[in-house]
Structure 1
Amino acid sequence: MRVDLEPRRVVAPPRTPVTLLATVTNTSALITGYEVRVLGADPSWVSVEPADLRLFPDETAAVAVSITLPEGVPAGDRRVAVQIRDVADATVVAVEEVVLDVPPVPRATVRLDPPTVTAGTTGTFAVLVHNEGNTVQHGRIVAKDPEAKTTFTFRPATFSLPPGQSATLALAAQARRPWFGDPALRPFELRLDGPSAPPADAPPASAGVFVQKPRFGRGLLALLGLLFAVTVFAVVITIALSSVVNRSAADRDLALQVAQARDAAAAKGTSSLSGTVVDISTGVPVAAVAVEVFGSDPAEPLTGVSTSDAGTFTLDALPAGDYTLRVRGAGFDETWYPAAPTQADAQPVTVQVGQVASGLTILVGGVPATISGTVLGEDVGGATLTVQLPLDADPLAGNVPPEPGEAPSTAGTDGAIVRQSPIGSDGTFELTDLPSPAVYDLVVSKEGYASTVQRVDVAAGEVRTGVRLPLLQGDGSIAGTVSGFDGPIGEASVVASNGQVVVETVTVTEAGEAGTFVLRGLPTPGTYTVVVSAEGYAASTLNLTLSEGQALTGVSVVLGRDEVAIGGNARLEGGGGAGGVSVTVSDGALTVQTVTQSTDPVGRWDVTGLRVPSTYTVTFARADLQSQVVSVSVDAFGNVTAGASSSTTVDVTMKAAQASISGRVTQTTQGGGAVPAGNVQVTVSSGSQQRVVYTASEANGSVAVGDYVVDGLDPGTYTVTFTRSGTRANSKIVVLTAAQQLDLPMLLEAPAGIEVTVRHAGGGSVAGLAVLLYRASEYGTAAQPVLVGTTDASGAYDFVDVDAPENYIVEVRTTVDGAVLATSEPITLKASQIASLPITITDDD
């Protein structure tokens, strides 16, 4: 077999098919089929046309191999191999390597959470950046304010994200706070900036609104207006009541009827409005808030309802027209549909007669909350109180998963920072203007002390007081060393946590003390989970218990590799390497495939990227060999601890898998039926190799007449010929694979025969005469006749099961040893031919 593959290197963008052309030439002397596979690629990515390839000797054909990589395949060179295997002889294998150049596809999404923040001078947002591309994304986020009145600060300022990972940035928006009037709306947009940033005319990556409350809100102004309105209302009521008292009862009744009729007509209609009220900071529906609808009179609502437990509302029986919707509720800012602070900014909703306007979503924000309390401890001055949005609670839940090997997060220790406040010597603190409702982690930290965390869940506009946060001075410590397969490991991360306290450090890198660490300030007594991790190593977790004031030393942590390679050799039972053997290594979650080498050293195989420690199932398979399965255990240092004779290699010896052909041969009778045929010669040949057996002529146990078996056949293409005297030979071409047991029955035609009829020259049949059948080449010699018979009452006798093709002469005698009465002309008998031979006896005879 000769194979030529083009191209050897091709650019393969994800979701775009690339085609490789393999030209295959059959250099053997037999008709051969070929199987084409792509190694190193998922079968669902690959299509082969034609799927089945069968070539005559010296024939050449082309096979188109199409590979479509899915989204998410990392950018860079990806090596795959095209394997072409002879289905008849699995030892004939060609493996051609191809390099797929996957171009970088940078793509990142930016989400602002929450999209709207209400605060005073400074508003804090969380910016979630997710790399959806196939290459590392480097860059930064920039914010643009159309009015250029807001200053934006990002922490951290830049990011670097591998494919599929996310990062959270804290965004602080700061602007001059208005003194009076309505809240100031400061919209802004976020854009990606960096080497792979989208063009300037592309839509923004995200957008948000910073709502600044005035220093003197509308509440005070509204109170003064309310007092004035109450005074005017009282005067009007007094005048109106005086007028009403002086009117007659009939006039009063008539006025009431007219007013009632007018009100009923105004409120009667067939249209309706429905929708949901949603908390803008959490995305959760808000229950039990009032939704009011305003018509032509902007000061008086037509009707109103309260939202259900699911946050939904429905306003029925409205006449056609334009309406504005207002939402009010305890702990929430007054909001007009869809998210406007005033009625003038609201978006009107228009309904026609009988129309149902559904799907309306009104976004409401909670009145800022306040948290106050005291930090307790012997020396709290200089401590820092950090307010964080935790990653295990809304709205950031699940957005930023921990990195592999990272210390388990405790409440709030790695969340998005909302605010930081220094603590004075008296320990008191007050946190105002916190977005609500929300869940926060309050983290108290000070150098030389153990950080403590307390989680608080504040309702909308809640004023939480009396919060007590302890600042613990730890008197315990843990010291030890971190080493790996190459010795001490510097800059390894060591994190200790007990659910409330988190202390972390890194190992020393200086010579003489490399790999050492000390965790100080641990409150005792207590039990700590210590997580040790380093780049290129698998993380290790320890559970250590400290007694009162204990300084634990001598902790030794040995880190194993995070990934290892294993390999070995596949050999043939008779000696030599076994090339082209498919090797599959799997632990259930991870599966890696390769093929043993067909060049020196033949049979060698290696796989990389295996996670350890783990137990792997290694499967060896080749079409002409018996498959083998080995279970091996690999420790954290890449050593094989079980399942192989060596700690460094996994070797196997492969046995040949031979095939067999069996079946039953039957033969058609002259009467039209079929009977088993014994002594039929069965010849199985392939090239110069040939095997000959005969069908059974007698039954013996499970073997019946006509049965045959030919075993010990190597995989390949064979010609099977069935031969029996007097019958035409029959042949079939079969292709045998390794260990195949082929059932091949055969029906032969009826054997040849001669129907002899002896009559007198004057007419009439002659019975009781002997008829002798001779081969024409032996007639007149001392050779005995082939067959002998006696004519029946009609002068006939049939010679059956006669060898053919052959030339025969029939002789008629008075008896077998008597006088010769007549001799026929030579007759040529073909295989399976039934010939009629009349013989006439004269009176002289």
Structure 2
Amino acid sequence: MHVDVTPRHLPAAAGTTSEAVVTLTNTRDVIAGFAVRVLGVDPSWVHVADPQPRLFPGASASVRVALTLPADAPAGRWTVGVEVQDLADPAAVAVHEVVLEVPAVHRTRVVLEPPTVTAGRQAVFTAVVHNDGNTPHVGGLTAVDPEARTTFAFVPATVTVPPRASTSVTLTARARRPWAGDPVLRPFEVRTTGTHAPGPDAPPAATGVFLQRPRFTRGAIALVGLLAAVTVFATVIALALGTVVQRSAADRDLALEVAQARDSAATTGTAGLSGTVLELTTGTVLGGVSVEVVSPDDTTTAVATAATTQDGAFAVGGLADGSYLLRVRGAGFAEVWYPAAATADDATAVDLADGAAVDGLVVVVGGVPATLAGTVTGDDVGGATVQVQMPLDAAPLLGSGIVADDAGTPGEGVVVRTVPVGEDGTVEIADVPSPAVYDLVVTKPGYATHVQRVDVAAGESRAGLELPLLLGDGTISGTVSGGAGPLGGASVVASSATVRVETVSLTQDGVGSFVLRGLPTPGTYTVVVSADGRAPATLTLTLTAAQELTGVDVVLGDAQGTLGGTVAVPGGDPGGVEVTVTDGASTWRTAARSGSGSWRLAGVPVPGTYTVTFAHADLQSQVLSVSIDGFGRVTSGAASAGGLDVTMRSASGTLSGTVRQLDGAGGAVAAGNVTVQVASGTVTRTVTTASTPAAAVGAYAVDALPPGTYTVTFTRAGTRSVSQIVVVQAGQDATLSPVLVRPAAVTGTVRRGNDPLAGAGVRLYRASDYGLAGAAPVATTTTDANGVYAFDDVDAPQNYLVEVRVVAGGSVVGVSPPFTLAASEQRAVDVTS
């Protein structure tokens, strides 16, 4: 036969089908059948159009061989063999090599963990690079900030990620930190660079948010203000000396009032109130100041007066039920109304019931009054108001327990002053206690509330403030739910480059619902929803003009989940199988239990993508890439959402089968004592087929073969050797059961004269042994009635001769000439005496 394969170099893209053509020519004189197959790849990848063609003498045929590689086939060169075997002569085998060229497919994606980080000057993220292609990815990462105000650094700068694997890179984002004000939202995108450029089908870039806090805390700003006040005090003391001298008489009178207040008390009722006075700049308690209880209807006359003790405490009793205002005055301090207002109009009333007492009141007293002035900018600023609030997240009120006012502003501070805005937008706020840190809150119905933080030095006259009034007629509403249903008390924050609005979901009467009001429109907002013990959720929502966006339903998953499942091993105890879970930045380990094979790993952050590796010394490792949602359910990478169940395979394979041989009648019988050699480039194993018992004759088995491609050669005396190629995979029980050609045989007829000689003894000798003393024949037999004899299963190649005696043990009557018997040859040797 003649075989030709085209092409010899075959492009074979992963996931697609490539074809080669095998051209066969029958060079024999009879009709012949052939078997065509492909060696060196998984048989399920191969389709042969006509695997057993039959050809007339001299005819040719073309057989198409289609090869479909799986989508995860690695890039590079693969060498496979196209084998053609003559079915009538199993020893006639032709093998042609074909080189498969699998092109590289670059496909990488990036996932940021966590997607949002709140920090100061720099934020650290973990960027997980997943290689979904079929070739190693070599390159780095790049990040883009739409505002071009953030710089990015990656460690390591370059990574090498094998196919179907992942690795992590530490991303550090840095930006100029604001001195004060609201946190700044800095979104960015991260993509891969290196061996390929992102194409039109590339995965989307990973998005992250760097939520940057101001450079200094509010307490630090207040301290800086105090230091600045001390610095300029020497400069202004000369100018202020006259004022101090003028005020000294007033302070003296006030001190006398405080002294008198120590002994004064109301005696008209049974209610009372008590609290503490704090110093504005340091937050320390203030003793020796006067606390006056006045009626809201008449703020000129005190109903009762008390003085603070050395620990800043005051108490007033004997009050009738009703509403009261508190005024605090002291030498060297500006007059303050509870809790920190400069005028009675901005003060908070204290309601007393008959016989009841209100305690825990905190009043903040400042020093020299300051003045703030500026302009409110925007469309139609008339009717807007500006409130001066003392923030609760900075000293001295930090942790004091004062509840926010009910003015409906986004600030949670205590109102010090409230002033209207003129039609031209100008605003001036006098008599502000200083030094201190304040929030200036600009409000107007139908507009967004704007909060701007300022640091006021002692006695400062601050001018040129610009306070924007932004349109805020948009709303976002929806519900927050957890795994068990609606979730109350969750924080909901909507922010853009200029606005930050926050609220919490309701805990009763519509549990879990929320509404974000006063959002300027049109605009795009990043909405972050978070709750204790839950993984935060981030949404990007766009509002059109005056849009009221409803139905925003957010489901928060658990912050941590559990991975688990079962491990099964072939014919053994799964105990000791190590399970490793990693997300590229952190790694967790556990082991399967003895007997059941179950494993469980709690405390895994969710949602997330993890690589799970199952390993054991004598088993083939298994690696799974799984994704877990916020509720601990496996969404990809496993057959079940409830767990990861795997069956591990042996790290080696086996090859077994039964060797048979054609006999004289054309049948195939089991052949014992056949040498079986299994060889690859690094491994050679040799076994012999069984000769006993009768049921196992011809059987063989080769265990613990490393995965690979092997040449298997079957050798038996008197028969041509047969070789075949077999691919052994890890955990596979491969089988190969060849049929050897008929062994060599010598037959003939013994005649005396022209007549057949029946009953004659026939002996087969090696030619080199014949005539030597004591030399024994290889085989003996007796002619039949027709003078015919036969020696089957003769060792070959070898030189022989045939000796004939009249009867067994009688005299020699004839000897054949020596002859060479080839392997599997059927030689006819006639002897005439």
TM-score above 0.5: no
Normalising by the smaller structure, the TM-score range is 0.3 to 0.5
